[in-house]
Amino acid sequence: MRVDDDRTRVMGARIRHFRSRAGLTLADLAAQLGTTASTLSLVENGKRAVRAPEMPGIAAALGVDVVDLLSEEPPDARSALELELARLQSGPQFGALGVPAVRISRTLPHDALAALVRTLQELDRKALEATATPEEARRANTELRRWMREQDNHLPVIEAAAEEIVAVAGHEVGALTHREVALMAEHLGFRLLHVDDLPRSTRTITDLEQGRIYLPPSSIPGGNGLRSMALQAMAHRVLDHTPPSSYEEFLRQRLEIAYFAACCLMPERQATDFLTDAKQRRDLAVEDFRDAFGVTHEQAALRMTNLLTAHHGVRVHFLRVGADGEIHKAYENDDLPIPTDVTGAVEGQIVCRKWVARRAGHRGNRTTENHQYTDTVGGTFWSSTQTGSGPHGAFSITFGVGFDDAKWFRGRATRQRQVSTCPDESCCTRPPAGLADRWAEAAWPSARMHTQVLAALPSGRFPGVDDTEVFEFLERHAAMD
């Protein structure tokens, strides 16, 4: 439609141009064509399309060829501006402003016309930019993270709802079984059905009328995630969710269902008992908690952030970091200085090279946790990191506490210690002076596109390229020659 509208407007402008060049009035030309001046005016203003059979007559009357009428070039600079203004004023961005459209006529001063076009073009560009970036998502996410920090990442109402339903299944200790999850579903009036044709954009689908929850096939590897998926689908019902009316509400519901699933897989009472015992023995470890409840390392570490502050008075931090050091998820209430952008968002920010979240990947042993003390501008922290890899590449899960609370954790005796002065750029983001002097002008790397959409690009001479890594690479290889 838009393309046709644009064509109609360009043809109208060309007809007007040829008519005035031929010295004809609207009435003159209308008379020749056997139509009225008002109909012709609609054509020239792009409000009425010229039908194909009418074209030869019009072209002949104007002394031009049909191809001249069909050209998509505005006939002159003034027309180009007028056509662009008409296009912009008919677009959704302008419509949303609720401002009356400017009448396009020959009396509109040229500079005012040009300024108006430029302004509306800029408005369109900005709107496109806002749609294309996950800006709204980031802001809503940041708000939610702040709110959760105020709650110490603990939501008692959801804990209670989960406890009730877990009791129904008769679950007592250890890993929640698929059978128990099915019993819980049944209690809520749902049947779990495994299908292999779920739409790609969905994880599960719930049929509220038939009382069915459709899940992916149970045979997929790592089917461990299925319990969580089924529980999340049930959570919408348990927590009385209604279709979200904003992105913020959507995010909050996502958080709540994940929280509910975590409560079911690691019920508050059992989990707290486990943690109390381990803390008394000064042997707290994410890996033990993970293995006791049969969940992933990430689920276990996150669950510990829910419980350790609320029930054990230990303030904590959690990070999920990608292979390039970019943050996927982060939480802290122990004042670990997690990098943020100007809006306060952490997703995609690059963590300090000195943190164990980034160093663990180089230490080889992937089967156990890596421990490290890190001196930061916010104090000294003890952290434990486990590395892993998923469909989107390598990542690391870090869980930790402030120095004073390290005494409760296994791995407190580590001799690994690093000093991080980030956000001071000389800490790890600016290449060492010697390397920079040697290579700054001689290096020409080509950036790899990031797979993580939210990842912030390291800024340097080449956007997306980590100068230090490039220089170190060149240095290494230059030394070999």
Contact positions toward Zn ion, by CB under 5 A? Answer: 352, 420, 422, 427-428
Smallest distance, Zn ion to C-beta of residue 420, A: 5
- Residue 442 CB: number of other CB atoms within 10 A? 9
Q: What distance in Å separates the CA atoms of residue 3 and residue 294, rounded to the nearest whole number?
A: 57
Q: Which is nearer to Zn ion, 318 or 355 (CB)?
A: 355
Smallest separation, CB 409 to Zn ion (Å): 24
Q: Which is nearer to Zn ion, 45 or 416 (CB)?
A: 416
CB 243 within 8 A of CB 136: no
Between 240 and 425, CB nearer to Zn ion: 425
Residue with smaller CB distance to Zn ion, 118 or 363? 363
Min dist. Cβ of residue 357 to Zn ion (A):
11
Closer CB to Zn ion, 195 or 419, in the complex: 419
Is the Cα dihedral 329, 334, 339, 340 positive or negative?
Answer: positive
Beta bridge partners of 380: 375
Task: Indicate the residue among 307 and 422 with the shorter CB distance to Zn ion.
Answer: 422
Instruction: Provide the minimum distance between the beta carbon of 431 and Zn ion in the complex, in angstroms, as a whole number.
Output: 13
Least distance to Zn ion, CB of residue 422, Å: 3
Give me the least distance between CB of 80 and Zn ion, in Å please: 52
Least Å from the CB of residue 187 to Zn ion:
51
Q: Output 297 or 353, the one with its CB closest to Zn ion.
A: 353
Provide, rounded to whole angstroms, the least separation between the CB of residue 429 and Zn ion. 7
For Zn ion, give the closer residue by CB, 427 or 436: 427
Cβ closest to Zn ion, residue 262 vs residue 352:
352
Query: Cβ 337 to Zn ion, closest distance in Å?
Result: 10
Nearer to Zn ion, 29 or 428 (CB): 428
Q: What's the min distance (Å) between Cβ of 423 and Zn ion?
A: 8
